[in-house]
Amino acid sequence: MSHYTRDFEGILRAAGYRVTPQRIQILDALCDEGGHTSLAAIYLRLQRIDPTIDKSTVYRALKLFVTLGLVVSADNGDGEVYYEIARVQPHHHLVCRQCGQQQEIDHDAIQLMAEAIYQQYGFQVNTDHLMLNGICAGCRLPHQ
């Protein structure tokens, strides 16, 4: 509860939702883990703190947080969905089709695309957390 970068409780209340210990603990878990965290990992961690918390509560909380924009989700393609506290400045990822390596990129990198789409379609792209597939520099060049 000390490491929040935003007023999560205020956002929840402003949207008509209640601040419960379960939700706080889930946000705490996400903050502590830092990077991409699976639901299973969050649940496992909560088990130690409070074994009465139910898995369905975690499912529901994560879904709510994503809807409210407090959390972003990611689907690597490896079947598991990951969650992460939404930063003030969004970021995205490059995922190599060959080696699977992931690389984080800044939101700026997609601004050109957003502008081009706005010009052409009048649509204001405002994407949270893209996973862009492709071939990384290492895999593109044959290792000689």
Please identify which residue in 19, 66, 131, 136 interacts with DNA, judged by CB under 7 A.
19
Element (H, E) at 71: strand 71-75
Q: Which is nearer to DNA, 53 or 139 (CB)?
A: 53
CB-based burial of residue 12 (10 Å sphere; 0-12 exposed, 13-18 middle, 19+ buried)? Answer: buried
- Smallest distance, Å, CB 5 to a copy of itself? 22
Does residue 7 interact with DNA by CB under 7 A?
A: no
Residues 77-106 that bind Mn ion (CB under 5 A): 84
The answer to whether 75 and 119 are in contact (CB under 8 A) is no
Residue 16 binds: one of DNA, Mn ion, Zn ion, none (C-beta under 5 to 8 A by kind): DNA
The answer to whether 46 and 26 are in contact (CB under 8 A) is yes
**Binding residues vs Zn ion (CB under 5 A):** 96, 98-99, 136, 139
